[in-house]
Structure formats: structure tokens, C-alpha cells
């Protein structure tokens, strides 16, 4: 599933074609994805101007001049790609319609934005903009890891006395929003902390040090266009490249990349998810 860097990469790619532009026509080609689309979604989107695109955790939020906001979640295999942009941001002509093109936005500027999702785990909803933060998917989220509300005192307080492994704690979207399996593994490697370590047993100094490491990992991933493992594509259809920089994720059996370590990357399963780490230098 796309994590924060992948979603942010898509948002940035969509912005030149959508922000400030009007949706000339919206095609909704099925009644649902993960859950049913809102009533009259195509009608409510057609003619609306996109005031701005923002990201909250792993969701893209398109604020419209109709007073509504379109919430978009890519799910496991969802892609949003742009074609035919008259500003020259995207070189692709409009492709033929594909089997899993479930929602298509024909922009007034000539761009076409297509939501393709073979597994249909993605989702869209329309929210009242003034109450968007009260939506059931948004209201439970913790602070953004790249925002001012995510800081050392917050993380230290959130992890204090917790008996859960640090890997599970950092995946808790109520503690910090947008982190997923890949970037938690990479963060813990750089911090030298085992994913097995109980959150409440980690010193406050080491917990505080996680904050800048999380930001560094995420910013590097965003600059690389995210990570493409299976289905992820940027808005122009290109792959992300951060997977080439993984220190531990997916590297089971490979030598540890820490120059002072002679260990081997190991995979364990925690709460049904694979954790990759070096048992020798992550304590």
C-alpha cells in the first residue's frame, strides 16, 4: 500500500493539472470501490473547480469551490495518472480506456486524470469542506510527521509506558500519521533500534532522536519519487526510485550496510507484517 512519500508524490504530480482548474466532466464507471461512491458523485464533481490539493496521512484531499472536498485513497493498487496536460508538464497523450479505469476527470484545461485500481481497495468520498477534519478516517489521525505538531515531546509522551513493540507503535496512525511498513523499517535501522524493542523501554533520548530520522527518511523518499515495489506509479506514469536506497526492507539475508557491522539482514513477522532489521546493530 502506498505510504506517505508515494501519496505526496502523486499529490505533487496532480497539482499542475488540477489546482485552480475546473472539472469539465467526471466519469464514474462503477458504483463502488472499497465502499460505495457517494450519491451523484459524477454530477457533484462535474463543473467544480479544484481550489487546492492537500495530503493528510495517506489521503489526498481535493478542496472544491462547491464547498465539498473529494477524499481519495489509493488503496493497494490504485494509480492516478495525468495525460494531455496543455502546460507541457506531462508528455503522454490520452491513452485508450483501460479495464480498471474506474473514475476519470476530464479537466477544462485539456488534462485527463484517471484513477485506475485493479484490486479495488481504493476509495473516494465527498465531504463537507468545513467539517472535513471530522470525517471518521481523518479525525483519528495523529500529527503529520513533516509538520510542526510532530516533535520530540509528542513522541516521547506517546510512547511512554507503552508495552507494544516500537515497530507497532510507529505504525499506529494515532501516534504519527502516514508511516507504513517500509519507512518504519528504514527508520529503525538508521536509529539502531530493534523492531522488537518495547516502546516504553526505549530511553527518552533515543525516542527523541527518532523524530529527525523519520523526517529525513520521508524527505529522501519524496525526493526519489517514492518507492515502486508492485503497482505504484507517479502521476506521469513513471516509477519511484527510493527502493534502490533501502537499507533493510526486502533485503533478507543480505549483509548489513552499516560499515561497522558484520551482521545480516533478518526478516521476522510482527502482527502479520514483515519486519526487516539487523539483529547485530539494532538493539
Catalytic residues: 2-3, 58, 273
CA distances from 238 to 182, 223, 281 (A): 20, 14, 35
CA distance 38 to 31: 9
CA distance 113 to 60: 14
Q: Contact 267/179 with Cβ under 8 angstroms? A: no
Q: What is the DSSP secondary-structure string of 31-75?
A: SBSSSBPPTTHHHHHTT-BEEEEEEETTEEEEEETTSEEEEEE-T
CA distances from 140 to 134, 137, 170 (A): 9, 6, 15
Which strand ranges, in their side-by-side order, compose the sheet holding 123-128?
Answer: 50-56, 59-64, 68-73, 123-128
Q: Contact 265/278 with Cβ under 8 angstroms? A: yes
Q: At what angle do helices 4-18 and 204-223 cross, to 10 degrees?
A: 40
Size of the chain in residues: 283
Q: How many Cβ atoms are within 10 Å of 125's Cβ, its own excluded?
A: 20
Sign of CA dihedral 196, 199, 202, 205: positive
**CA nearest to 243, candidates 257, 230, 255:** 230
CA distance 277 to 282: 7
Amino acid at each position: 500500500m502506498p505510504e506517505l512519500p508515494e501519496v505526496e508524490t502523486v499529490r505533487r504530480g496532480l497539482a499542475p493539472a488540477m489546482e485552480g482548474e475546473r472539472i469539465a466532466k467526471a466519469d464514474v464507471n462503477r458504483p463502488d470501490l472499497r465502499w460505495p461512491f457517494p450519491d451523484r458523485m459524477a454530477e457533484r464533481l462535474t463543473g467544480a473547480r479544484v481550489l487546492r490539493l492537500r495530503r493528510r496521512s495517506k489521503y489526498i484531499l481535493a478542496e472544491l469551490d462547491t464547498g465539498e472536498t473529494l477524499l481519495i485513497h489509493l488503496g493497494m493498487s490504485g494509480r492516478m495518472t495525468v495525460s494531455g496536460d496543455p502546460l507541457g508538464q506531462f508528455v503522454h497523450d490520452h491513452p485508450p480506456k483501460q479495464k480498471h479505469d474506474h473514475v476519470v476527470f476530464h479537466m477544462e484545461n485539456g488534462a485527463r486524470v484517471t484513477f485506475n485500481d485493479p484490486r479495488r481497495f481504493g476509495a473516494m468520498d465527498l465531504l463537507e469542506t468545513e467539517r472535513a477534519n471530522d470525517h471518521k478516517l481523518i479525525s483519528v489521525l495523529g500529527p503529520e510527521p513533516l509538520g510542526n505538531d510532530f516533535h520530540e515531546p509528542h513522541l516521547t509522551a506517546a510512547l511512554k509506558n507503552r508495552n507494544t513493540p516500537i515497530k507497532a507503535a510507529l505504525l499506529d496512525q494515532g501516534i504519527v500519521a502516514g508511516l507504513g511498513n517500509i519507512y518504519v523499517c528504514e527508520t529503525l535501522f538508521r536509529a539502531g533500534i530493534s523492531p522488537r524493542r518495547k516502546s516504553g523501554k526505549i530511553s527518552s533520548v533515543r525516542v527523541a532522536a527518532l523524530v529527525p530520522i523519520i523526517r529525513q527518511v520521508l524527505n529522501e523518499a519524496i525526493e526519489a519519487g517514492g518507492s515502486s515495489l508492485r503497482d505504484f506509479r507517479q502521476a506521469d506514469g513513471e516509477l519511484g526510485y527510493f527502493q534502490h536506497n533501502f537499507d533493510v526492507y526486502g533485503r533478507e539475508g543480505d549483509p548489513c550496510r552499516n560499515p561497522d557491522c558484520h551482521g545480516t539482514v533478518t526478516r521476522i513477522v510482527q502482527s502479520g507484517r514483515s519486519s526487516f532489521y539487523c539483529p547485530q546493530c539494532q538493539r
